[in-house]
Structure 1
């Protein structure tokens, strides 16, 4: 396959398209372990970028640095041109393990970020109820987490992240704990959210197929110390409808190409 239309070399920071998030020369060490080395990457505004690479390559570390939950050893992160110095209202995190309050209803869990910001109860519940509906949980507003399936709990976490109206959503393998059927439905819903919400999504996944299916841009990371190996921007099957993507020749070829480039790093 000629990848010239879908694969581009890593571009200099100032040559990238309009970016919501810029990571510039990020390095991170934990004692003697060098997790990230001089990593620079642009995240286009209003698009979904997946971070893909072998286990332990620093995907979650990079995500937490962008979130402001970890401080880089060197380098900077900018969100809308402002340097990140810690967590902020411009970013929201969707955790792999749901991170719900067990004693709170679906409605209160979805509104919790707004509650922490001091938003009035009526306003925060209105906004939370809107996103509960958006993620397909209408009718469960008064349920508690223990009454929900894993997939439903993850939808609550997504509704909470959307409700705070952050410009950047950071998603750390959010679908890994659900069954394959639920995961496929989540992927379809995510494509609709990217199209409708006008937010920038940064998505960590171990799944090549998932990354190609949901992404406007895929950044492939090398084993630690992690750097960006290449950037792939699937284009040909966008806009064809979610039912057609997995049968598209470009989708299948890109999946094979990425696997060929990562195979040597899998133990």
Structure 2
């Protein structure tokens, strides 16, 4: 079995690709007068695929994610979503934050429905959609609980339900599992594989975990140390339609983790 399909960035990410939901062209980001965070990033992201952004600390992963989200402006270059330039946040993109970002005074149901509430959706409609996704993320029966009554993993599930409920084309996830324990993290990963198949959305995940990137991703984008550039793009050759426990024992999974670590280890202080 082939361990992974390595891609050459210049030919693998064509802006004219008609299947791309997101296209990043010549993206450059400078903080202040001299700190170059991202340098000449060209990428495309396909519908129904999960792409992980991976690289050493400070390489610009979260900066790139926030530019795609419209939360930061690039110094030069552009991001297109469904062919339209990004000028700021938009309803076609939903962000899952690392720190949950829930309203402490609101119930699970209202937190999950909040994006729809902001958009002015009728109460019955937004609550129906919120209940559906609360169930999808495994929180049925907790609709009337408050964030302080939930574990960290459960609070993150509420954040995921809220992002799914607004029916955005793109889910942007900034290390969404970093604040939970290892057991919860593994269950989250398994659930995310299932949700990706069901929802057919474009998922972009920032992670520091090589294992997580290999386990979840259709494509892994490796960024170089600052200034962040596309160092490599890989497509893990892993069958995710089997028992989740078997994936972690696959030689292709284990070998790719080792290969990525060998490429990154000399950047780790």
TM-score, length-scaled by structure 2: 0.96
Tell me the CA shift for residue 241 of structure 1: 3.4
Query: What is the alpha-carbon root mean square deviation over aligned residues?
Result: 1.4
1:154-173 aligned at under 5 Å gives the runs 154-173=156-175
- Gapped regions of structure 1 (runs ≥ 5): none
- Gapped regions of structure 2 (runs ≥ 5): none
**Structure 2 counterpart of 1:221:** 223
Q: How many residues align?
A: 266
SS across alignment from 1:99 = coil
- Alignment deviations for residues 50-99 of structure 1 (CA, whole Å, 9 cap, x no partner): 00000111000000000000000000001111111110000000000000
Change (3 A) 1:15 1:76: closer
**Structure 2 counterpart of 1:238:** 240
**Structure 2 counterpart of 1:252:** 254
**In structure 1, C-alpha distance between the alignment counterparts of 2:80 and 2:146, rounded to whole Å:** 37
Tell me the CA shift for residue 244 of structure 1: 1.2
**In structure 1, C-alpha distance between the alignment counterparts of 2:137 and 2:114, rounded to whole Å:** 16
**Structure 1 counterpart of 2:141:** 139
1:84-123 aligned at under 5 Å gives the runs 84-123=86-125
**In structure 2, C-alpha distance between the alignment counterparts of 1:236 and 1:159, rounded to whole Å:** 27
**In structure 2, C-alpha distance between the alignment counterparts of 1:258 and 1:83, rounded to whole Å:** 33
**In structure 1, C-alpha distance between the alignment counterparts of 2:243 and 2:81, rounded to whole Å:** 31
TM-score, length-scaled by structure 1: 0.97
**In structure 2, C-alpha distance between the alignment counterparts of 1:216 and 1:251, rounded to whole Å:** 12
**Structure 1 counterpart of 2:23:** 22
Tell me the CA shift for residue 20 of structure 1: 1.1
**In structure 2, C-alpha distance between the alignment counterparts of 1:245 and 1:220, rounded to whole Å:** 22
**In structure 2, C-alpha distance between the alignment counterparts of 1:87 and 1:254, rounded to whole Å:** 35
- Alignment deviations for residues 179-198 of structure 1 (CA, whole Å, 9 cap, x no partner): 00000000000000111101
Moved more, 37-46 or 229-238: 229-238
**In structure 2, C-alpha distance between the alignment counterparts of 1:17 and 1:209, rounded to whole Å:** 31
Tell me if the contact between 2:15 and 2:23 (Cα under 8 Å) persists in the aligned partners: no
Tell me the CA shift for residue 8 of structure 1: 1.4
**Structure 1 counterpart of 2:44:** 42
Tell me if the contact between 1:237 and 1:251 (Cα under 8 Å) persists in the aligned partners: no
SS across alignment from 1:109 = helix
Tell me the CA shift for residue 240 of structure 1: 2.8
Tell me the CA shift for residue 2 of structure 1: 6.3
Tell me the CA shift for residue 235 of structure 1: 2.1
